[in-house]
């Protein structure tokens, strides 16, 4: 009887300790999320786009000096990706970067994360925020497909389109069966991350990795083995090129359970995205610039970008061209804005003559 009581006591104590740790983790995440929102959302603002949804957007630069430049990020990325580009353009161009539904500070997504749905939400944001056309649209990776879809649906409101190593549908399921395993692994890791996020583990790891000594995150990376090391290396390679001041916000985004729900929604829509954009119609009479790294094959079909499409190679870049060669991206944007302003001025006498 004495042994049984001891066993029961040990089991009960372990269960109580586990429950207390779980409660502490939940409380830590809840408090940390609230502190993050109060401290880190200040550079931008939330804009309602209907049906209870809000998108977080950051504006830089003066309005009224030519077309506004609108940025769209890749998978899992937010408006933070464009801070250095916005800063470089701030004195000359009006720029807008935002977080898609399901990512960053924006509301949860309520529709499938395909280019068509995302482009419509972006159109609603621009309308609600009073950002008048014409626009120069800039999209990276998945964001390139979003901006391509936007240009197809709102060609009359476009000034130019700049695609930074846009996602290639033929490289993803269902067209490339070899990538299916990679997408499934990413989905599994994202689900695990979502579980850890709810009890504060990802908050500890993200703050350790991005803002502190990285001891705790290093322990988790070693525990995860080769996959953890690969993920950490990619994060360091990409995020290490971003301004240091965005690291607390990156840590906050990667800490929140909503980030993993939003990222999973994007990953689950990969096949639908590839199907939607695989045989998209050609863009009309809009200047289109496609930037790709030297290590990648050139676009297989430039005809999809219309009669004014052109291809440029970023010689010193990998996939994240706007991080590797920001000066090239900045100059490409300035050229597009200048061309749009010049073409608008040439059109003015024609409009006046018709009137």
Q: Going from the N-terminus, what domains does the chain have, and what CATH number goes with each?
A: 45-342 (3.40.50.1820)
What is the mean pLDDT, run by run of 10 residues, along the chain of 355 residues?
67 69 68 81 94 97 93 96 96 97 97 98 98 97 98 95 97 95 93 92 81 61 59 68 89 93 97 95 96 92 95 96 97 97 69 36
At 228 the pLDDT is 59
Looking at the DSSP bridge assignments, the partners of residue 161 are: 137, 288
Angle at 322 between CA 302 and CA 308, to 5 degrees: 25
CA distance 159 to 80: 24
Beta bridge partners of 311: 290
Q: Residue 224, SS3?
A: helix
Tokens encoding 208: 């350790």
Strand duo 288-293 + 309-314: pairing: parallel
Please report the pLDDT score of residue 238 as a whole number: 73
pLDDT at 181: 94
Dist CA 207 CA 251 (whole Å) = 6
Question: What is the per-residue pLDDT for 180?
Answer: 95
Q: Determine the Cα–Cα distance for residues 67 and 69; give it in Å rounded to an integer.
A: 6
What is the pairing mode between strands 158-164 and 288-293? parallel
Secondary structure class of 164 (helix, strand, coil): strand
The per-residue pLDDT for 23 is 67
pLDDT for res 350: 38
Q: What is the pTM of this model?
A: 0.90
């Amino acid at each position: 009887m004495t042994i049984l009581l001891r066993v029961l006591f040990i089991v009960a104590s372990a269960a109580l300790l586990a429950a207390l740790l779980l409660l502490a983790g939940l409380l830590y995440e809840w408090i940390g999320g609230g502190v993050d929102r109060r401290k880190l959302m200040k550079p931008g603002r939330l804009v309602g786009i209907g049906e209870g949804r809000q998108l977080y957007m950051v504006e830089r630069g003066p309005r009224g000096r030519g077309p506004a430049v609108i940025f769209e990020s890749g998978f899992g990325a937010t408006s933070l990706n464009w801070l250095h580009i916005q800063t470089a353009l701030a004195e000359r161009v009006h720029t807008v970067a935002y977080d898609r539904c399901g990512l960053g500070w924006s509301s949860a997504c309520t529709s499938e994360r395909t280019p068509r749905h995302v482009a419509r939400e972006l159109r609603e944001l621009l309308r609600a925020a009073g950002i008048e056309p014409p626009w120069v649209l800039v999209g990276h990776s998945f964001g390139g497909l979003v901006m391509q879809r936007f240009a197809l649906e709102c060609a009359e409101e476009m000034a130019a389109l700049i695609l930074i190593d846009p996602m290639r549908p033929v490289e993803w399921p269902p067209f490339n069966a070899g990538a299916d395993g990679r997408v499934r692994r990413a989905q599994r890791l994202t689900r695990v991350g979502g579980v850890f996020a709810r009890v504060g583990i990802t908050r500890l790891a993200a703050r350790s990795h991005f803002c502190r000594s990285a001891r705790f995150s290093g322990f988790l990376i070693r525990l995860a083995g080769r996959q953890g090391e690969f993920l950490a290396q990619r994060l360091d390679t990409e995020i290490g090129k971003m301004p240091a001041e965005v690291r607390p916000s990156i840590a906050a985004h990667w800490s929140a359970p909503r980030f993993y729900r939003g990222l999973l929604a994007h990953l689950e829509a990969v096949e639908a995205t590839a199907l939607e954009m695989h045989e998209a119609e050609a863009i009309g009479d809009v200047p289109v610039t496609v930037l790709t790294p030297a290590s990648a094959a050139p676009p297989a079909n430039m005809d999809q970008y219309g009669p004014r499409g052109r291809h440029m190679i970023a010689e010193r870049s990998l996939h994240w061209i706007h991080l590797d060669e920001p000066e090239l991206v900045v100059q490409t944007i300035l050229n597009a804005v200048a061309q749009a302003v010049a073409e608008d001025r040439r059109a003015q006498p024609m409009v006046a003559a018709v009137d």
